[in-house]
Chain A
Amino acid sequence: MEQKNNTLLFYTLLYFVFLYLPVLFLPLFSFNDSNFMSFPLSGFTTEHYEEMWKSTNLHKALWASVKVGVVASVVSTTIALFAAKAFARYKFRGENISYGAIMMPFLIPEIILAVSILVIWLSLGFKLGLVPVTLGHILFCTPFAMLILIARIEGFDFSLEEASRDLGENAWGTFYRVSLPLYLPGIIASLLLSFIISFDEFILAFFLTGSDATLPMYMWGQMRFIQKLPHVLALGAVIIVFTTLIVLLAFWLRNLGQGKDKADFGIKIHE
């Protein structure tokens, strides 16, 4: 380990400012008593929050986003759990190709995923709305969920599952009594992070929502009107606080689990 390097430390702290400062302007101006986001600040107000909350369209959009987010996170985490288990557990032919294929949505520009789904959806004669958005989000969240779950399952001692089978539990009993409780921190982290990705996702929603706006779509619509901008700020501030809390919770859960891993599965002996 190197000793000390104050130049690098200073640079790193500066980088943190670069990362955080822009995001912090949203809450700052959301309490500013002005329609313009400029200095000097004119006065403190919570009026923007009250105004924002009055919009029924916001309520609709929020509800739409929550619905899409819950379905997308549950479905993608479930699909990803099986896939992660297969990759962590088995060696098989075509492993790399399958892994690459499942990671693809993560590696293709999102706009291409969006227009592809748009084309097939319209060709099939379906109406745009929350259903194709949800499907798109499931596609987009699955690679993320799988990465999180693989990290969790990879250190897993599979002899625990064998021990359970050996002690008379069948496959489902084993999943319920051994695997699930031990994967749980990872599963919850995956659910939370997938939900956040879906909740904040813009491009897929932009192409596929039709008239049922999700929350980012609602904000996008509001951003065009200068007099509505303070509402966007207020809403944005709330969303930032909310997502930050959820993400911190997810990270905490993930690390909590991993700390325990080290204590319990530390001894691994090979023949």
Chain B
Amino acid sequence: MLQAVQKFYAKSESVRAYTMLSPALILIILLMLIPMILMLSFSFFTQISFVEIDYTFTIQRYIDFFQKNLLVTLLIKSVKISFLVTLVTLLTAYPVCYYIAFYVKKNKMLWLVMLTLPFWTSYLLRVFSWKIILGTKGVINSSLITAGLLSEPLTFLMYSETAVIITLTHAYAAFALLPLYVSLEKIDFSLIEAGRDLGLSRLEVFWKITFPLSMPGVIGAILIIFIPTVGDYVTPALLGGTDGRMLSNMIQAYFGKINNIPLGAASATIMLFTVAVVTMVVSYTTKKLTQRIS
């Protein structure tokens, strides 16, 4: 019997691989897949009272979602803010990665560790530190008033979309820096030299060689920033005020204070659906783009 089992094992790499993967896969199934399916099914139920839920199937919660202007507005705003954050993060991080990949000669790893180090400190605290900077009595306002440049604090800094975008750009910097750096670092420098040798200007070399070759990093960065920022809760809660509030804050409210779990579940499902659509669109267009380039 034991020998039969041994034989079975020895014969198949797949069996060995899946044995080793099974704890991770079970974890995903039990703690992600099944809970998400359950959440999806809750979005088809109705909350009757504070504790009671009617388990008959209805798509009313999705209708509710789209009938509530607030929720649709928040969804659109979440996507818009995430889009802006992704764009700003990419644009600001790209030159830094470019510099480290092509100009830094010694201790590249040290530069990279230094770049990603702030990312590992508490997310909550990083967001909080922006509150210190942008607050009504915060660093910027108090400095400007002390210097005599202002008499009244700038109120638009705090509790606004701008505050949320700045903070998220800071918070998700590492997610852009790492994939961008990796893809730039992989580029064979002789390709760039060849481009120069064939008479292209620096700018042309960048647009025709470097940038297309760094596309995998750009795509990676887009997805890895866009997805979590759509669902971000802490930043809008601390810095957004009413102006900067995002869909997550409402989801939290449905699961918390308001206690409408089905509507919360429907909102979460719609958020997930939005993320999936964006992921597919980004992957598809970039695939088309890279095909055209090559």
Contact = CB atoms under 8 A, between A and B. Distances in A.
Instruction: Tell whether any CB of A sits under 8 Å from a CB of B in the complex.
Output: yes
Interface of A: 1-2, 4-5, 8-9, 11-12, 15-16, 18-20, 22-23, 25-26, 29, 36-40, 78-80, 82-83, 85-86, 89-93, 95, 98, 101-102, 104-105, 107-113, 115-120, 123, 135-136, 138-139, 142, 146, 193, 196, 199-200, 202-203, 206-207, 216, 219-220, 223, 232, 236, 239-240, 243-244, 247-248, 251, 255
B120 A83 contact: no
B151 to A, nearest CB: 15
A142 B24 contact: yes
30 contacts: A1-B105, A8-B99, A15-B92, A20-B118, A22-B129, A22-B170, A23-B118, A25-B139, A36-B142, A37-B132, A37-B137, A79-B27, A86-B20, A92-B13, A98-B18, A102-B25, A102-B28, A107-B227, A109-B232, A111-B252, A111-B271, A112-B272, A115-B39, A116-B39, A120-B34, A142-B24, A202-B124, A207-B252, A236-B125, A244-B120
B22 to A, nearest CB: 8
Interface stretch (B67-75, B108-116, B286-294): B108-116
Interface of B: 13-14, 16-18, 20-21, 23-25, 27-28, 31-32, 34-36, 38-39, 42, 92-93, 95-96, 98-100, 102-103, 105, 109, 113-115, 117-118, 120-126, 128-130, 132-133, 135, 137-139, 141-143, 146, 170, 173, 189, 223-224, 227-228, 230-234, 238, 248, 251-252, 255, 261, 264-265, 268, 271-272, 275, 279
A22 B133 contact: yes
Contact of A117 (B35, B125, B138): B35
A85 B18 CA distance: 11
- Pick the most buried of B24, B25, B268: most chain A CB atoms within 10 A of its CB: B24
Contacts, number: 238
A86 B94 CA distance: 34
Contacts of B261: 119
Contacts of A120: 34-35, 38-39
Nearest to A215: B122
A105 B124 contact: no
B120 A196 contact: yes
B99 A243 contact: no
- Pick the most buried of B109, B142, B231, B232: most chain A CB atoms within 10 A of its CB: B231
A109 B228 contact: yes
Given A16-B114, A102-B24, A92 B121 contact: no
